[in-house]
Amino acid sequence: MDIAWSPQDQAFREEIRAFLDENLTDEIRESGRLMTSVYADHDRSMAWQRILNERGWAAPAWPRRHGGAEWSVAQRYIYSVERVRAGAPPVSPMGIQMCGPAIIGHGTEEQKAFYLPRMLSGEHFWCQGYSEPGAGSDLAALQMRAEEDGNDLICNGQKIWNTHADIANWGFFLVRTGKYDRPQKGITFLLIDMATPGVTVRPIISPSGEHIQNEIFLDNVRVPKTNVIGQIDQGWTVAKYLLEFERGGVAYAPELQVRLDAIEVAAGQVAGDVCDTLADDPAFATRIAAARIEIGALEIFEFRAMSAEARGESPGASASIMKIRGTELQQLMTELGLLVAGRYGMAYQPQAGCPGGPVSFPHGQGGFVGPREAAIAPLRYLNERAGTIYAGSNEIQRNILAKVLGL
């Protein structure tokens, strides 16, 4: 594996930097820098997606024939690094990074022609309907029914932990259309217009006070069979394909490095108990060094996964490894951030950040106490607790790895 950047890669990096410098407004840049979860402010994120789409860069991995940039694996990694360093917000992953690849890989030509352009433009904003109260990590246990009625499927059931379902106008769902010897059989991948009669969305408020998550109830929701991706009863194949993108389709190391750099800079401005600053404290410096080593190790693994993907190989088990280490290190960043925040980390100050959804318990009108990063630290800590659970809990990922290793 050659991890040296080619002259073409270096030229591409300069092109990305120039584009970011020219197109990132102060408002959009702020929304990326002051995120309190993995989701950016909706309006600013969509404004950034429109800018990217005008350049043809909204979907880096999609083929050009579907409106994507068709970047190489190396180019996508370079963009990820430069985006994070520049403070640009991420594009919502539900559509372009998850449902889009599923449609490209398993949809009909008519489905591609209808959904993909609207996904890129932002006309369609997507949510995911996978987990249920009794089927989260064990997703194959889902029970939401979809019974055939002529050219339609009649859907009844409940989904939970649905990101941005309150503002999404389309959702991709896993529904049970049959029962067989294995629970993975009889599941169908279905696209549902969220304005369809019988769809009800109720909020779930996070410990940080943000409304990003929801639960969805479907009561005799009639959906045309033309909205099925792949074949009826064969949706598990589509779901597994999509989960590889959800778990391992994004590099974690670039963001982690930027976050750790910011923590180290902030620690240099905080008085220490035994040294002039917290950054000079040997115990804290040891934790920073250990974190940097772990992030470096993850980056090397991501490079290996990139190399395999460039050869046309599936992410496979590497997606599980990246998901485990990436989310655990994200949580470590929030723990270090709280140490640096000190007493300011004890206050509830949601007004200091730029959350991914409305704050249900606002406090203050824009002012906050202490450094801004310190005020945001507890919000990030609370939100990142979910990282090792969503997209298949890390316990499930370890079970996958154990199966691959024959343990």
DSSP output for 208-260: TSBEEEEEEEEEEEEEEGGGEES-TTBHHHHHHHHHHHHHHSS-SHHHHHHHH
- Parallel, antiparallel, or unpaired: how do β-strands 145-149 and 187-193 relate? unpaired
Tell me, yes or no, whether 310 and 227 share the same domain.
no
Total domain count for the chain? 3
Tell me, yes or no, whether 261 and 208 share the same domain.
no
Closest C-alpha to 323, from 387, 385, 384, 381:
387
Is 62 contained in some domain? yes
Read off the CATH number of the domain in which 28 is found: 1.10.540.10
Q: Which residues pair with 187 in a beta bridge?
A: 176, 234
Tell me, yes or no, whether 221 and 256 share the same domain.
no
Measure the CA–CA gap between 207 and 79, rounded to whole angstroms: 32
SS3 content of the chain, % helix, strand, coil (to 5): 50, 15, 35
Tell me, yes or no, whether 290 and 227 share the same domain.
no
Most distant CA pair in the chain: distance in Å? 75
Tell me, yes or no, whether 272 and 387 share the same domain.
yes
Tokens (6 digits) for 304 = 């290996």
> In the predicted model, what is the mean pLDDT of residues 360-365?
68
CB within 8 Å of 222: residues ≥ 6 apart: 149, 152, 153, 154, 155, 196, 197, 198
Q: Please tell me the predicted confidence (pLDDT) of residue 248.
A: 45
Express each pLDDT in 71-108 by its tens digit: 988 899 899 989 999 999 999 999 999 999 999 999 99
Read off the CATH number of the domain in which 182 is found: 2.40.110.10
Closest C-alpha to 339, from 276, 388, 283:
283
Is residue 246 among the annotated active site residues? yes
Residue 1 pLDDT greater than 70, yes or no: no
- The single residue of 82, 246, 309, 373 carrying the catalytic annotation is 246
Express each pLDDT in 183-236 by its tens digit: 899 999 999 999 999 999 999 999 999 999 999 999 999 999 999 999 999 999
Q: Please tell me the predicted confidence (pLDDT) of residue 55.
A: 97
> In the predicted model, what is the mean pLDDT of residues 58-64?
95
Tell me, yes or no, whether 170 and 287 share the same domain.
no
**81 vs 78, 253, 255, CA distance in Å?**
5, 8, 7
Tell me, yes or no, whether 140 and 224 share the same domain.
yes
> In the predicted model, what is the mean pLDDT of residues 360-388?
86
Q: Please tell me the predicted confidence (pLDDT) of residue 396.
A: 86
Q: Please tell me the predicted confidence (pLDDT) of residue 240.
A: 80
- Sorting pLDDT into bands at 50, 70 and 90, what band is 247? very low
Strands of 103-186, DSSP E: 126-129, 145-149, 152-160, 170-176
Tell me, yes or no, whether 379 and 273 share the same domain.
yes
Is 241 contained in some domain? no
Tell me, yes or no, whether 254 and 229 share the same domain.
no
Express each pLDDT in 128-152 by its tens digit: 999 999 887 788 899 999 999 999 9
Tokens (6 digits) for 239 = 């779901």
Is 325 contained in some domain? yes
Share of the chain above pLDDT 70, in %: 95
Measure the CA–CA gap between 185 and 401, rounded to whole angstroms: 22
Is 271 contained in some domain? yes
Is 114 contained in some domain? no
- Sorting pLDDT into bands at 50, 70 and 90, what band is 274? confident
Residue 44 pLDDT greater than 60, yes or no: yes
Tell me, yes or no, whether 298 and 203 share the same domain.
no
Is 130 contained in some domain? yes
The residue segments making up the domain with residue 373 are 250-405
Tell me, yes or no, whether 158 and 82 share the same domain.
no
